[in-house]
Amino acid sequence: MSPRLPPDPAEVSMRSERSAYAEAIPPGDVTAPCRGPVLVCAEYNDRWRTPVTMAPLRITDMNGVVLDGGARTQGLPSFGMQDGQDIEGLRPELGRFNFNDAERGPITAELVPDPSAAAEIAQLEAEIIEALRAFAASMDTALQPWILAWEDSGWWGVAKSLFEGAKKGFTAWWEGEGEFWSAVGDWISSLPEMAGEAWDSLTASARALWENRDRIIQILRDLAEGSIEAFEAGIEALKDALAGIPGLEEIAETLRQLVEQSAEWAGAMIEMVKQTRVLDVLGATMLGVVMTTTPNFWADMIGTAGGYLIPEIVLAIIFAIIAAFTGGTGGAALAARLTAFVTRVTAQLSRAGRAGHVVLRMFATLRSVTDKMIDLVKALKRNVAEKRTGATDAEIPIVRKAENPRTRLPRSNGRWDGEPGNGTWYPDNPDAKKVLGDKGVPFKDGRPDFSQWSKGNVEFEPGVLDGTSADFTKVYEQLKEARGLSSNNAARQLLRDAGLTPHHSSDTVIQLIPSDLHNNIPHVGSASDMRGGV
């Protein structure tokens, strides 16, 4: 066998730094039979099988550590590429690393975190969340003119406690939002009628976005809830739904690039969900503001903003968030495209009078935290830790979970008796204590048991409930029939007047729990379990 020639420099320059490094270290002639290649492939287990890119590696064989420092899994920057470019041919190489000089036999491959990253993440997370809390508090005042005009309808009471929770950073409100989402569905469908002639003048493209409003809003909700699988599926579905619609070419192409020509931003999103509460609070705050603005506010927007409705605004919020992901992973071109869409929306809003300027506060807040979000993405990418065993001459798959099991436990403003999640929580909240007295709420396996405070159970056949807000509509339908009420809204009002909130106790039972208790105990329950832990 002729000796192996050194790699051609021009060829090496087209490969990743690590691949070039591996090729440049051929085994010696004598020891070659004892040395073998290490083949690592790191990816998330999400819908898109997103590669874990640019992650530092440590390789250990039977003799000890053979590589520690300098080696990284391949990412688009390894090839001089970035999100938004034609990467189809490169995608199979991403998240991989090859090393040709290990002792043949057992191998341990590790993704190694930077020891300084965790503290930086905690600091940035705290700063971003504090900025969002301050923003939510300010919006209560900004929205007062429309709230006061709408209060007589009784609808505002449905969302008020949820918005109050968002202002305090109380993100557990997502578990109790079923009544809220059901109410939202009622008034959002009435907007065309409220807008009158202004609605009739909307362009075909604006109407197409309106027809996809539920899908767009659900995407932001999925992002806030950390449901990566649902978020990715939603982006794909929206891309397909808007493709080929005149006037929506820019949005459709941006969605196509996000789905088909990207590999880095999704990993940043996954790490932000796994390691922080930022998207939880960000999504709850932004969507909470959008959805707690009253119908008369949005009717004003339809009449003055040239057709800019909830779908465009929510889509711009989503694009602004993803722009931070792309900015933190070196995707300047795609970030610029996303930001350009946001800029066009905000320019239109600036001409929409008083209502438009209120909505602009959301985008000003997003801009104010963008640099911190970008820094957070970079720190998160340095804080990835995984460890797998394998052997030389065979691929070692490192599969990182894209979603953590859904848990949310009380951690402040009270005390635990016993293990958190498997003990009893005694809250300091005065509203909750009015219901509990001297008692605490028992938890088992991270789930609360409100049974002793339930004011009634609504039972269903197995398979009827699915853990979504549609379950609460089923509750209202049962109450309407049982009490001889005129509508689901009347049933909802009945519970509201009684101070009760529906709570999934199991996959067949929804309990009616005092709102002062339910809305002040951070938790997830059976609804989350039925949604697969999200």
What SS3 class is residue 111? strand
Q: What is the pLDDT of residues 3-12, one digit of tens each?
A: 334 444 344 3
Strand partners, 103: 35
User: Three-state SS for 50?
Assistant: coil
Q: Report CA Rg, the chain.
A: 26
How do the domains of the chain map onto residue ranges?
10-113+384-400, 117-380, 414-530
Note the pLDDT of residue 454.
94
Q: What is the pLDDT of residues 377-435, one digit of tens each?
A: 999 999 999 999 999 999 999 999 997 665 667 877 899 999 988 999 999 989 999 99
What is the reported pLDDT for 438?
A: 94
The secondary structure of 214-233 as a DSSP string is HHHHHHHHHHHHT-HHHHHH
Q: What is the predicted pLDDT for the residue at 493?
A: 84
Predicted local distance difference test score (pLDDT) of residue 176: 40
From the centroid of its chain, how far is CA 498? 33
- For the domain made up of 10-113+384-400, give the CATH fold: Immunoglobulin-like (2.60.40)
Pinpoint the alpha helices (H) of 107-143: 117-142
Q: In what order do the strands lie in the sheet with 447-448?
A: 414-417, 424-427, 441-444, 447-448
| Nearest alpha-carbon partner for 170 in 379, 357, 419, 431 | 431
pLDDT at 229 (0 to 100): 87
Provide the pLDDT confidence category of residue 62 given band limits of 50, 70 and 90.
very high
Q: 526 with 504: CB under 8 angstroms?
A: yes
**pLDDT tens-digit series, residues 131-184:** 988 887 787 676 666 556 555 544 444 344 444 443 333 333 333 444 444 444
Helix (H), strand (E) at residue 18: helix 17-23
C-alpha span between 372 and 366 (Å, rounded): 10
| The pTM of the whole model exceeds 0.85 | no
Residue 492: pLDDT above 70? yes
* Residue 306 exposure: Cα atoms within 13 Å on the Cβ side: 9
- Winning range, highest mean pLDDT, from 289-293, 383-387, 521-525, 530-534: 383-387
The rounded distance, in Å, linking the Cα atoms of 369 and 458 is: 43
Helix (DSSP H) and strand (DSSP E) numbers for the chain: 23, 14
Highest-scoring range by mean pLDDT, 169-178, 461-470, 487-496: 487-496
Q: What is the pLDDT of residues 500-528, one digit of tens each?
A: 988 888 889 999 999 889 878 877 766 65
Please give the residue that has the higher pLDDT: either 259 or 165. 259
Burial (0-12, 13-18, 19+ Cβ within 10 Å), 5: exposed
For residue 137, what are the contacts with CB-CB under 8 A and spacing of at least 6?
Answer: 167
Residue 416, CA atoms < 13 Å, CB-side half-sphere: 14
Q: What is the pLDDT of residues 229-257, one digit of tens each?
A: 889 999 999 999 999 888 889 999 999 99
| pLDDT tens column, 88-126 | 899 999 999 999 989 999 999 999 999 999 999 999 999
Backbone φ and ψ of 244, nearest 5°: 85, 0
